[in-house]
Amino acid sequence: MTSLSPVPARHDPYDADVIIVGAGPVGLAAAMDLDARGISVILIEQRPFLQPPSVKCNHVAARTMEQFRRLGVAGQVRAAGLPADYPHDVAFRTALTGKELTRIPIPPSGERYTSATGPDTEWATPEPPHRINQTFLEPLLVRHVAGLPHVTLLNTTRYADLTQDDNGVSATITDLDGASRRLPRARFLIGADGGHSAVRRQIGAKLHGDAVIQSVQSTCIRAPGLYDLMPGRRAWGYYAYNSRRKGHVYAIDGHETFLVHNHLTAEEAASGSADRDWCIRAILGVPDGFGYEVVSKEDWVARRLVADRFRDGRVFIAGDAAHLWVPYGGYGMNAGIADVLNLTWTLGAILGGWAGPAMIDAYEAERLPITAQVSKFAMSHAERVIKSRHAVPQNVEDDTEEGELARAAFGRQAYDLNVQQFAAAGLNFGYSYDSSPIISYDGEPAPEYTMGSYTPATAPGCRAPHFWLEPGVSLYDRLGHGYTLLRLGQGADTEPLTAAAAAAGMPLEVVDVPAGAAPAEYKHALVICREDQHVAWRGDAAPADPAALADLLRGAATARSWRHPVTAGR
């Protein structure tokens, strides 16, 4: 068996450090993060430059916005999408033009940092969530990435295959304009090539889970007169419930464009019998004569599928390539970005020359269990939402006292069921890594991971709870490359740890936390945070063997060897 060495043979020429296949949101985030570390990237995308994706994701989670802040694009992202004064509420109605049952208030982007109204405004984060359609988000990120010094963006280029060996990976790619083939070589390859991932297939990963949860007929429409017919305050999301049809609608531009999700029964999905136009009119609550234009349509199946491996040797998969699930909780793209930024920081450490072999095992050990768990949250929430559609009272639209009581009761249930997915603090911040080879655990378990509620904690593996070091400066703004040692107790001696880190070549910057700045969860005098904002170690004093701790954190302590690449030579 060949053992892989992180140090390439001197004669081995590389076109880049990392090849990324796919410039969707996950591949773009990976390119941004690697570029910020000075790591060279070839980013391969089959679509032409700036060709928008299909109208899918509408929610950028707070955890993603925290990462966009670190990468310098949070302001641009927040300024894009719906107008700054457009409410990001979710309204539950009998139809878009019908009676309102309940509403989850969410501030417009212009008030996002200042509003204290609604269930998701008191989150412990410097960057609350943002609602923006992928058709606005992606071109913005593409433009940004195209200007980055260490990224070569190859549009209109299709990836076909890979071979890997002890020192690197070569990809076969075809320029779709000229049809010329090339074979770029890099030290690592990331497959961010979406649900039909070729890279996933080539590393032998298999998807497991539930293949069909819900079939959906999605239509993007332009309906200039719709807002004139709609009562009350505008909303970003609309859930429509009436006895004829149930569906979800998202405001895309705040003027005239909407994405309509029409939920199909199993029979309709099998027979293809759902009348798209009739269903859209029933969800909107508009008569036959109302004019709208179909911009695009995409019919899809909500699934819960997670790959059984995220890595083979020097090749990794992330995002939809690694998992596909029903987008409840708005966490498909966001989970993919969380995957890949977990991966790129470990690759940064390896390419920076200071990490050991266990560093490369951390990605799958940390992300696969969390991904499996999130997929189950999303599915069980989807199942409850699907069930609730069957419980819509027959008289929900009646102009009677009974009708009003029925609307109030159903509205309360809808609020309680859905507030946890639209104000999902737990989903965003509550995940922790409990079986990582590069985290030093101390026996305190992380709080339970749930979708709706978040209990901040500094147990190793948890996201380090955010706090302001000074006005406008978050803890996260001060986390440097590698590791950061927070000194919370004035007298705590940092020297044994900084000396051990220096001896091992591991970046470890000390940040003194002003007295009273950190919340109560920071109950130890010293806390080591990773640059991906997770706690790696904590204590009241340096451990007896600081060199052993440094070796553990940089992946040099365990005896695990790098996995043999099963795809080599294929």
Ligand X SMILES: Cc1cc2nc3c(=O)[nH]c(=O)nc-3n(C[C@H](O)[C@H](O)[C@H](O)COP(=O)(O)OP(=O)(O)OC[C@H]3O[C@@H](n4cnc5c(N)ncnc54)[C@H](O)[C@@H]3O)c2cc1C
Q: What's 432's DSSP letter?
A: B
9 or 212: CB nearest ligand X: 212
137 or 406: CB nearest ligand X: 137
Sign of the dihedral through C-alpha 385, 326, 113, 233 = negative
Pairing type for strands 246-251 and 311-312 reads unpaired
406 or 424: CB nearest ligand X: 424
Least separation in angstroms between CB 351 and ligand X:
22
Least separation in angstroms between CB 159 and ligand X:
4
- Long-range pairs for 440-447 at CB < 8 Å and ≥24 separation? 440/536, 440/537, 440/549, 440/552, 440/553, 442/537, 442/538, 442/539
261 or 538: CB nearest ligand X: 261
- Long-range pairs for 383-392 at CB < 8 Å and ≥24 separation? 383/213, 384/417, 385/328, 385/417, 385/418, 386/213, 386/214, 386/263, 388/413, 388/414, 388/417, 389/241, 389/246, 389/263, 392/241, 392/242, 392/243, 392/246
452 or 460: CB nearest ligand X: 452
- Rounded to whole angstroms, the Cα distance separating 274 from 216 reads 10
422 or 537: CB nearest ligand X: 422
Q: Which residues contact 21 (CB under 8 A, 6 or more apart)?
A: 27, 44, 159, 171, 189, 190, 191, 192, 193, 198, 199
Q: Which pair of tokens denotes residue 235?
A: 């909303």
Least separation in angstroms between CB 27 and ligand X:
6
Q: Which pair of tokens denotes residue 384?
A: 């409850």
Least separation in angstroms between CB 298 and ligand X:
7
Sign of the dihedral through C-alpha 134, 136, 137, 142 = positive
461: buried, middle or exposed (CB in 10 Å: 19+, 13-18, 0-12)?
buried
Least separation in angstroms between CB 192 and ligand X:
5
The residue type found at 281 is R
Least separation in angstroms between CB 153 and ligand X:
12
- Please give the residue ranges that form the binding site for ligand X (CB under 6 A): 21-27, 44-47, 53, 56-59, 134, 158-159, 192-194, 198, 218, 300, 319-321, 327, 330-334, 336
Least separation in angstroms between CB 467 and ligand X:
26
291: buried, middle or exposed (CB in 10 Å: 19+, 13-18, 0-12)?
exposed
Least separation in angstroms between CB 296 and ligand X:
12
102 or 218: CB nearest ligand X: 218
- Rounded to whole angstroms, the Cα distance separating 272 from 369 reads 36
218 or 428: CB nearest ligand X: 218
4 or 337: CB nearest ligand X: 337
Least separation in angstroms between CB 377 and ligand X:
13
CB 216: neighbour CB atoms within 10 A? 20
250 or 483: CB nearest ligand X: 250
Q: What is the CA radius of gyration of the chain?
A: 25
CB 50: neighbour CB atoms within 10 A? 11
Least separation in angstroms between CB 196 and ligand X:
7
Write out the DSSP string of 484-544.
EEEE-STT---HHHHHHHHHHT--EEEEEPPTTTS-TT--SSEEEEETTSBEEEEESS--S
47 or 487: CB nearest ligand X: 47
23 or 65: CB nearest ligand X: 23
Least separation in angstroms between CB 321 and ligand X:
6
The residue at minimum Cβ distance from ligand X is 24
Least separation in angstroms between CB 515 and ligand X:
39
Residue 11 to residues 7, 14, 18, 109, Cα–Cα distance (Å):
12, 10, 18, 52
